[in-house]
Amino acid sequence: MTFHLHTYGCQMNVRDSEAVEALLSAAGHVRVENESDAELVIVNSCTVRDMAERKAVGKCGNLIAAKQGRGRVSESGGRVKIVGLMGCAVKRMGADVFKSLPNLDFAVGPRRFGAIPRLVERCLAGEKRILELPDDDEVPTGMDAHGVTSFQSFVTVLLGCDNRCSYCIVPDVRGHEYSRPAREVVAEVRALAARGVKEVCLLGQSVLRYGKRNPAWLPDDPPSPGGYTEAFPRLLEALSAIDGLKRIRFTSAHPKGCTDELVRAYAEFPKVCRHLHLPVQSGSDRVLREMGRHYTRAEYLAAVAKLRAFDPEFAVTTDVIVGYPGETEADFEETRSLMEEAGFDNAFVFKYSPRPGTRSAALPDDVPTEEKERRDQVLLADQQVRGQARNERLVGTVREVLVEGPSLRNAARWSGRDGGNRIVVFEPKGPLVAGEPVNVRIVEAHPQILVGEVV
């Protein structure tokens, strides 16, 4: 049958959806670009924030209405026959998902997506309201499944999270940490490179903890040629040796993982992009303790300094939460000053909202909505100035840009990213191929993009 997936949330969800598409295609189903042409529609949900969960559940409700004849009939004359919900919201809601969506055909948690082809067959046989919830330590099947690939691909290396930050529901819905064996990851990336993939992004909720909870390197694996002893830098070393692969990225990180070996890997392996997304969340030591982040302001800034010591252009991006319970104006100003001292290349600012089941949900949400909005806008305005200043330093430099395709805003220009994950737009000279590198001299800077000319 024809199928279509809607994906909400993070890169982990994007990767899970890609694996499901590949598994369904292998089972004989046909992927279609448009929802209106699909007989099977699956929504991959996020529950990190209430609004994200509501969007996914609402989308399922609309699809079920279409299935029951109260929605739009597809252009091909068919109608949605099966509606499924997968991902983090299913794990959080459990059996209550059928209270919100009584006519949902199946619901499956985030570490059980490999079962979806089998669930579809059960639905076709007449079963309804099927629920599959994974154990917190379950290892998913189908993690190495990839469908039609571009020159970029996500590769999951670490599942789950054991950090237990006070505001975060991810450990409850994604389960305990599990590091995939390095030999599996290397084989997957080697296969992707053979299919023309030039850039991989390694995924984990706290990716620098790779190999901490369970061994990623097995006793009979070959030793590190460079003498690396830490699991993640050793993985970067192995992936850097794969022919055809041009760039290696990874996300998301924790300051505790910014070790000397990681910095050495950045310096020694040109394929490892000099960019790190390093969420800080707050610049106040008091708030950091309340959040359970397990580092101080000084330790965070030391990690940034270590990354920039060998390359001043090293790009550091971050996440920040404003309006955490009890955050005072003084706490907020400490966050503001930390961001200035760290000199972030970009920052994503989020207004705090409580999630059921987290420790912080028991605290009074005492920062008014309008004050959260003010703090959000202040930090975003600061970052515009900071991003402009950081990018202006790059004017006149030549960047190797991996071509992505025509610019979304101006079809006469093309765009791509440099090693620091900065967006670079330029006018093409001659034919260009997505995934190929081109050298671009930067002639103009903006807070979030660079403009250049091909050299």
**Alpha-carbon distance 31 to 2, whole Å?**
6
Rg (alpha carbons) of the chain, rounded to whole number: 23
Q: Phi and psi (nearest 5°) for 330?
A: -65, -40
Domains of the chain: 2-132 (3.40.50.12160), 149-272 (3.30.750.210), 274-393 (3.30.750.200), 398-454 (2.40.50)
Placement of tokens 């907020």 in the chain: 332
Work out whether strand 315-322 and strand 346-351 pair parallel, antiparallel, or are unpaired: parallel
Placement of tokens 């983090």 in the chain: 88
Q: 7, 35 in Cβ contact below 8 A?
A: no
Q: 414, 432 in Cβ contact below 8 A?
A: yes
**Burial (CB count <10 Å: 0-12, 13-18, 19+), residue 448:** middle
**What is the mean predicted confidence (pLDDT) over 50-55?**
93
Whether the predicted pLDDT of 333 surpasses 90: yes
Give the pLDDT confidence score for residue 362 in this predicted structure.
96
Three-state DSSP state, 333: helix
- pLDDT tens string 195-234: 999 999 999 999 999 999 999 999 999 999 999 999 999 9
Give the pLDDT confidence score for residue 144 in this predicted structure.
95
- pLDDT tens string 67-94: 887 655 443 345 799 999 999 999 999 9
**Alpha-carbon distance 303 to 347, whole Å?**
17
In 123-278 the beta strands, taken as DSSP E runs, fall at: 130-132, 152-156, 158-159, 178-179, 199-203, 247-251, 275-277
Average pLDDT, the chain: 95
Q: Which amino acid is at 288?
A: L
Give the pLDDT confidence score for residue 74 in this predicted structure.
45
Q: How confident is the model at residue 60 (pLDDT cuts 50, 70, 90)?
A: very high
